[in-house]
């Protein structure tokens, strides 16, 4: 059952993305505006300075500087209207010596206001500054006047109104104040659109995933995106996860059904034996026989449960064991002792070591040999070979039994698998032995190969990684 969740119009993640976009874009706009205003202010100020420089050069051509004072060569430049009246773009001229005594000033200074003098200390040809006179912002330029001996005699000061610059800068600020709210609104809207556009594939993945229920895991997420793209990788990752979950659920379902079936047989037998005992009084011999049967069925269940636990632990723990043991010694001592009454021909090379759990390997070998004996004719000889071959260790168990058809060579490792031929022949078993064998040898990184033993029988070959033991 899926729980419906109320989805807001704008999610928290979308809000965060919009907020980040707005903050970053606003910051960029502010930086850009600051840069543009600074550049514009610099250009306009430079324009005023160029005008002052040009006019200063013209004035310097009309005067002559000597150690005794200033001589005017021509009054034409000094009598221009911009130096005589307070026009739209007037120039205010003032020449004073190094002691602050005024040597020459334009006529329009009397119509406006005196300009503060400044004794400049720089050796630059020109220097400029902004000053405020009668609440008017002005740009003032200074230059030294030198005599024929190149000595500094006086300072030429020329001033001009900077109201055009102020008007221009004011208009720029007004335009910015008008445009900024519009730009801010546009950034918010575009950020929302970008967020929705960016998260659309993700929302599609969420919607597709919500359609997949636990009862139907066959559906997969299908969106149009490249496998190298983030959304494509998320889609493929989720689909791969669903494949694994589906496979595990099927395996668990089959395992549960098969385990229940296998455990039901001995449990049913136990109940039948108990019913038999409870129907009436029995003799001591009957009680003994029934209790023996009960013990046998209980042993069957214990073996099934132990094997299942071992297989489950092996599938959960895929890390290879770091324990090293002598496989040759295990076979020569323990295996030979366990099957001392069976006809088994051993060919075991000495001092072959492998990594793994010797108890698990012992149990796996027991299962392989027991199967070989069980499915072979009575008193038929079994062969066990262990030897090194190139960079591998080969362990072979060879029987002359009923064999395994090619169609079943991969199925025999499935839990509880029992072939129809085995069932017809009435050979008892749980179908867990080879599953345990595969689990154990998978854990140590070995490979199992099943082949036919001509003219009859089966060969189980286990290829184990070769281990070098240094002295």
Tens digit of each residue's pLDDT (9 = 90 or more) over 228-271: 777 778 778 877 887 777 776 766 665 565 556 556 656 776 77
pLDDT at position 137: 92
Using pLDDT thresholds of 50, 70 and 90, give the confidence band for residue 1.
Answer: very low
Instruction: Compare 338 and 423 and report the one with higher pLDDT.
Output: 338
pLDDT at 2 over 60: no
Range of the domain at 235: 230-315
392 falls within a domain: yes
Task: Give, in order, the Cα–Cα distances in Å from 253 to each of 30, 118, 247, 303, 413.
Answer: 63, 98, 10, 21, 17
- DSSP letters, 446-461, are -EEEEEE-SSSSEEEE
Domain of 99: which CATH number?
3.30.450
Please say which residue of 295, 315, 335 terminates a domain. Answer: 315
The structure tokens listed for 59 are 């004035």
Residues 311 and 323 in one domain: no
pLDDT average, residue stretch 313-321: 53
Q: Hey, which residues does 93 pair with through a beta bridge?
A: 158
Domain of 324: which CATH number?
3.30.565.10
The structure tokens listed for 92 are 């205010």
pLDDT at position 396: 94
Residues 323 and 451 in one domain: yes
The structure tokens listed for 339 are 């099957």
471 falls within a domain: no
Tens digit of each residue's pLDDT (9 = 90 or more) over 278-311: 787 788 888 788 788 778 777 767 766 766 666 5
Domains contained in the chain, number = 3
pLDDT average, residue stretch 391-410: 86
User: How would you label 117-133 residue by residue, b for 16+ Cβ within 10 Å and e otherwise?
Assistant: eeeeeeeeebbbeeeeb
pLDDT at position 48: 93
- DSSP letters, 17-37, are HHHHHHHHHHHHHHHHHHHHH
Pick the closest to residue 433 from 373, 350, 352, 345 (CA basis): 373
Residues 307 and 365 in one domain: no
pLDDT at position 216: 65
């Amino acid at each position: 059952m899926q729980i419906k969740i109320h989805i807001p119009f704008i999610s928290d993640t979308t809000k965060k993305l919009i907020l980040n976009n707005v903050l970053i874009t606003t910051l960029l706009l502010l930086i850009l505006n600051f840069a543009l205003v600074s550049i514009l202010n610099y250009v306009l100020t430079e324009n005023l300075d160029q005008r002052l420089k040009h006019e200063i050069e013209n004035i310097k051509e009309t005067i002559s500087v000597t150690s005794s004072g200033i001589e005017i060569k021509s009054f034409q430049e000094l009598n221009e209207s911009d130096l005589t009246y307070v026009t739209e773009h007037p120039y205010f001229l003032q020449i004073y010596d190094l002691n602050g005594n005024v040597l020459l000033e334009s006529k329009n200074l009397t119509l406006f206001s005196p300009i503060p003098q400044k004794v400049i200390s720089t050796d630059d040809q020109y220097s400029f500054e902004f000053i405020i006179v009668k609440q008017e912002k002005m740009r003032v330029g200074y230059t030294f006047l030198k005599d024929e001996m190149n000595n500094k005699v006086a300072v030429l000061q020329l001033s001009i109104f900077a109201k055009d610059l102020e008007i221009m800068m004011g208009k720029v600020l007004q335009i910015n104040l008008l445009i900024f709210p519009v730009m801010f609104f546009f950034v918010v809207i575009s950020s929302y659109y970008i967020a929705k556009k960016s998260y659309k594939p993700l929302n599609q993945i969420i919607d597709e995933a919500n359609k997949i229920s636990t009862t139907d895991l066959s559906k997969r997420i299908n969106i149009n995106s490249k496998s190298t793209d983030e959304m494509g990788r998320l889609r493929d990752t989720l689909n791969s996860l669903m494949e694994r979950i589906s496979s595990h659920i099927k395996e668990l379902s089959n395992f549960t059904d098969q385990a229940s079936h296998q455990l039901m047989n001995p449990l049913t037998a136990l109940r039948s034996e108990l019913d038999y005992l409870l129907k009436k009084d029995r003799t001591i011999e009957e009680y003994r026989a029934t209790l023996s049967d009960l013990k046998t069925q209980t042993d069957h269940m214990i073996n099934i449960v132990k094997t299942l636990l071992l297989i489950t632990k092996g599938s959960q723990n895929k890390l290879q064991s770091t324990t090293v043991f002598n496989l040759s010694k295990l076979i020569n001592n323990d295996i030979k002792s366990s099957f001392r009454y069976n006809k088994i021909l051993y060919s075991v090379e000495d001092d072959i070591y492998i990594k793994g759990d010797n108890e698990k390997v012992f149990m796996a070998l027991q299962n392989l040999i027991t199967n070989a004996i069980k499915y072979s004719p009575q008193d038929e000889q079994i062969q066990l070979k262990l030897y090194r071959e190139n960079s591998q260790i080969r362990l072979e168990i060879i029987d002359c039994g009923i064999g395994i058809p090619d169609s079943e060579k991969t199925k025999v490792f499935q839990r509880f698998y029992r072939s129809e031929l085995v069932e017809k022949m009435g050979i008892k078993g749980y179908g867990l032995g080879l599953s345990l064998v595969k689990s154990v040898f998978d854990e140590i990184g070995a490979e199992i190969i099943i082949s036919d033993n001509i003219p009859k029988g089966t060969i189980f070959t286990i290829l184990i990684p070769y281990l070098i033991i240094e002295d």
